[in-house]
Structure 1
Amino acid sequence: MGILQWLFDAKIQFGNGQFILWREVLGNLFGLLSALGGMRRKVWAWPVGIVGNLLLLTVFLGTVFGSPNAVNLLGQAGRQVMFIATAVYGWYRWYGATHSGGAAVEPRWASWGTRALLVVAMVGGTALLTPIFSALGSFPPVWADAWIFMGSLLATFGMAKGWVEFWLIWVAVDVVGVPLLVSAGYYASAFMYVFYGCFTLIGFFVWWRVNAREKVQVQVHMPDPTVSRGRRTEG
């Protein structure tokens, strides 16, 4: 109980009465480690991320857990629950792939139809959740909280499916998330969002190159049969 009590109460003081909760720092560090594992397509990225999600859930439900920063961000809190549920799916999917003799996930581009559905889900989900979060007392501007929730849901699902575009969804989340978190007083998370924004762009290009490299390898090992037939005809 002593360690748990410390974890809930510990904070870093700075400036004129400002502070950062250690739970917020640790939760974001676990999230960063999970993102790094995801970029490298490591299965351990999922359970590590779950630990960070549990810590951040207690942070963003400030009034529920008696946090020194008594501000509720329901979109931020709700997405931690969503992260955990989606992480279980991603963990199962990647773990099963590695034990079938393959890589945890093979990065690939989503189809144009899937991209259209992602855009519709992002915009429509934000519009649907905004009045709900507003009625529940989420921190304004509420649409930003709803946007972060929907983007996080779609990005995590996209990571589990292996879509390269999921990194770009994270960028869209980070752009909106930074000013919202600063205004709500969650400075550690805001700082990490800035860092995540740069990191997700790197992750996007890493998965892009992996996809291109694996596509070339497939073409080398499985040449176009029409080309092969043409060469035999010429011979």
Structure 2
Amino acid sequence: MELLDWLNTPAFELLGKPVPYSDLFGNICALATVVLALRRNILSWPVQILGSILLFAASISAGLGGNASRQVVIIVAAVWGWTQWNKSREAAGEVLVRWATWKERFLLIGALLLGTAVFGYVLALGGWSWNPYPDAYIFIGSLVAMYAQGRAIVEFWFVWLAVDLVGIPLAVAGGLVFSGAVYLIFLVMVVIGFIDWSKRSRQTISAPHLGATDINRSPEE
């Protein structure tokens, strides 16, 4: 309990609102996760786990039940993603990225919409969040994005972009101003990440070895 109390102790103030250590270090880990994911570095997953533990503490202090639950499930998803990237690296020597098929895209969108509606209802029913549906949207969107990331699908960057656009106002309204500022940085990094993964996917398509060609073909081709 003493550790949790310290983590939620304000490190400094931003725009007149306290920024707890948990929010500060958790978001530093989150930024590092995006940088590592952009480079397809497998360390992105353990860093993601550490950041989620810290952001869990921050969400509890801000009364965002959905966001706190999100961190718990993200840890589980990160363990799964870690194993998937390990398999890919062992098989090909690196993490190969690809475009999703249209079937996968429809499944991702369907999971995002249905999951948000169901989980938002649960949060509202239990009174576990002061803003249940945006909170649920971020929760489900993060899971969908991490699933796509674990599958090394380029479109996962689009899902993270959608999450960021809702996460910024929700974090600021919940008093996590530093998280909101970090989300703005995420927006830039997501665009960079999408461009990089998109190029790498096309480069793999044109590579002479046929195995990678089959794995990374764009759905439009």
Judged with a 3 Å threshold, the aligned counterparts in structure 2 of structure 1 residues 15 and 156 are, in CA distance, closer, same or farther, namely closer
TM-aligned CA deviation for residue 141 of structure 1:
2.9
The letter for the 2-side match of 1:99 is E
Aligned to 1:158: 148
Matched, 1:217 2:199: no
* Structure of larger gyration radius: 1
Which of 69, 72, 92 does residue 63 from structure 2 map onto? 72
Residues 130-171 of structure 1 deviation map (CA, whole Å, 9 limit, x = unaligned): 111112324433210111011100000100101100000000
Judged with a 3 Å threshold, the aligned counterparts in structure 2 of structure 1 residues 148 and 5 are, in CA distance, closer, same or farther, namely closer
TM-aligned CA deviation for residue 98 of structure 1:
2.4
CA distance in 2, matches of 1:141, 1:153: 19
CA distance in 2, matches of 1:86, 1:220: 31
Residues 182-230 of structure 1 deviation map (CA, whole Å, 9 limit, x = unaligned): 111110111111111111111011100000111111379999xxxxxxx
Aligned to 2:30: 31
Aligned to 2:50: 51
TM-aligned CA deviation for residue 95 of structure 1:
1.9
Aligned to 2:117: 127
Aligned to 1:88: 79
Cα RMSD after superposing both structures: 2.3
Task: Provide the aligned length of Structure 1 versus Structure 2.
Answer: 213
The letter for the 1-side match of 2:43 is W
CA distance in 2, matches of 1:108, 1:222: 9
Residues 78-100 of structure 1 deviation map (CA, whole Å, 9 limit, x = unaligned): 11111110111111121233234
CA distance in 2, matches of 1:11, 1:137: 29
Judged with a 3 Å threshold, the aligned counterparts in structure 2 of structure 1 residues 194 and 14 are, in CA distance, closer, same or farther, namely closer
CA distance in 2, matches of 1:222, 1:49: 27
User: Normalising by the residue count of structure 1, what TM-score does the alignment of the two structures yield?
Assistant: 0.83
TM-aligned CA deviation for residue 20 of structure 1:
0.8
1:73-222 equivalences in 2 (<5 Å):
73-103=64-94, 105-218=95-208
Matched, 1:7 2:3: no
Structure possessing the higher relative contact order (Cα contacts under 8 Å, 6 or more residues apart)? 2
TM-aligned CA deviation for residue 4 of structure 1:
6.8
For structure 1, which runs of at least 5 residues remain unmatched after alignment?
63-70, 224-235
Aligned to 1:66: none
For structure 2, which runs of at least 5 residues remain unmatched after alignment?
214-221
- Fraction of identical pairs, as percent: 33
Give 3-state SS (helix, strand or coil) of 2:93's partner. Answer: coil
Larger deviation: 132-141 or 210-219? Answer: 132-141
The letter for the 1-side match of 2:89 is T
